[in-house]
């Protein structure tokens, strides 16, 4: 029973990673193959660190993830806590179902919606601004707006789906604790602060640690669909850079080196975060 998943992970997980590590240290030529391509050592890593794009890519990737950590990560927790207080089961199920729907919307459609709503000529956002006496703005061509646009789209798409784990955790909290708290005179806020939050705290910590481990990774598909040369200053991240250098420019070795750097830094961050979690709480990944 264990053999099929073992074979799957060896072929589709382990071997590609090993090959990517090898390719990142070679001047890989797709026509010569790995055996005939020349060895380059750490050349591609050094070129990336000395690149004029390195600082910009690192800044944009970290800033977008920090905005996600501040605004997107807590949103499902707050949403689950608020919906948990709703006593009408029909309203509760309806709101849950509606909140899940954006998760199943294609990224291409989400990007198209953003382009339509933010259109400087017919977009709903600009039409509203005009009604308040403001000028029309081409948001998607202004690099100052990109972080906010991406964060809002990510929040809209992931809010309901990310809250599922918290809904499941809330159902596992012993209801007798709430009854005892009410007998002692605790109001809704006291119950939430002293029972509900501690009850879901382990889940929050685990998801937070996993989020820290992905601080240098971003779902670049939406960015690729929204950004343009005018917004590279704030929109270009490590993932999109790897896409351009690896897929569009066919520079596989350089792209593999950048991707390997991204993975190693993510591993370092999650190890550090896990050590801090073990030191200051009872919940950790290992």
Sign of the dihedral through C-alpha 251, 252, 253, 258:
positive
Residue 94 scores a pLDDT above 90? yes
- Distances from the Cα of 199 to the Cα of 173, 194, 202, angstroms: 6, 9, 7
162 band by pLDDT with thresholds 50, 70 and 90? very high
- Mean pLDDT, residues 134-161: 93
pLDDT tens for 9-51 read 999 888 888 888 999 999 998 888 888 889 998 999 999 999 9
How confident is the model over 237-243, as a mean pLDDT? 93
Span 238-262, mean pLDDT?
Answer: 91
Confidence class for position 218, pLDDT limits 50, 70, 90: confident
Side-chain half-sphere CA neighbours of 273 within 13 A: 18
Band the pLDDT of 286: cuts 50, 70, 90.
Answer: confident
DSSP state of 181: H
Contact 35, 271 (CB under 8 A): no
Task: Name the least confident of 13-22, 55-64, 123-132.
Answer: 13-22
pLDDT at 285: 76
The mean of the pLDDT values for the chain is: 91
The answer to whether residue 283 scores a pLDDT higher than 90 is no
**Residues composing the chain:** 286
pLDDT score of 223: 93
Please, are residues 236 and 224 in contact by the beta-carbon 8 Å criterion? no
When pLDDT is cut at 50, 70 and 90, the band that residue 255 belongs to is very high
- What single DSSP character describes residue 39? E
CB atoms inside a 10 Å sphere around CB 103: 14
Whether the predicted pLDDT of 220 surpasses 90: no
Within a 10 A sphere around the Cβ of 76, how many other Cβ atoms?
23
* Prediction pTM value: 0.89
pLDDT at 158 over 80: yes
Whether 112 shows a pLDDT value over 80: the answer reads yes
pLDDT given for residue 221 in this prediction = 87
Tokens, residue 243:
């896409």
SS3 of residue 26 by DSSP: strand
């Amino acid at each position: 029973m264990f053999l099929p998943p073992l074979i799957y992970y060896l072929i589709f997980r382990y071997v590609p990673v090993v090959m990517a590590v090898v390719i990142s240290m070679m001047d890989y030529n797709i026509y010569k193959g790995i055996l005939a391509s020349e060895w380059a050592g750490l050349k591609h890593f050094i070129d990336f660190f000395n690149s004029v794009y390195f600082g910009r890519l690192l800044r944009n990737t970290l800033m977008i993830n920090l905005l996600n950590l501040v605004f997107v990560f807590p949103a499902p927790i707050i949403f689950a806590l608020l919906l948990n207080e709703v006593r009408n089961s029909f309203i509760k199920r309806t709101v849950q179902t509606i909140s899940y729907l954006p998760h199943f919307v294609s990224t291409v459609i989400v990007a198209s919606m953003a382009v339509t709503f933010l259109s400087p000529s017919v977009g709903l956002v600009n039409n509203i601004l005009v009604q308040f006496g403001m000028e029309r703005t081409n948001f998607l061509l202004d690099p100052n707006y990109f972080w906010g646009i991406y964060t809002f789209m990510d929040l809209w798409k992931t809010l309901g789906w990310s809250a599922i784990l918290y809904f499941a955790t809330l159902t596992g909290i012993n209801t007798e604790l709430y009854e005892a708290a009410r007998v002692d005179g605790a109001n809704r806020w006291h119950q939430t602060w002293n029972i509900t939050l501690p009850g879901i705290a382990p889940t929050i910590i685990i998801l937070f640690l996993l989020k820290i481990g992905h601080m240098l990774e971003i779902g670049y598909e939406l960015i690729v669909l929204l950004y343009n040369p005018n917004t590279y200053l704030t929109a270009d991240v490590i993932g999109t850079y790897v896409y351009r250098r690896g897929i569009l420019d066919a520079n596989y070795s350089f792209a593999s080196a950048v991707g390997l750097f991204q993975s190693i830094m993510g591993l370092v961050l999650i190890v550090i975060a896990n050590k801090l979690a073990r030191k200051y709480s009872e919940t950790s990944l290992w």
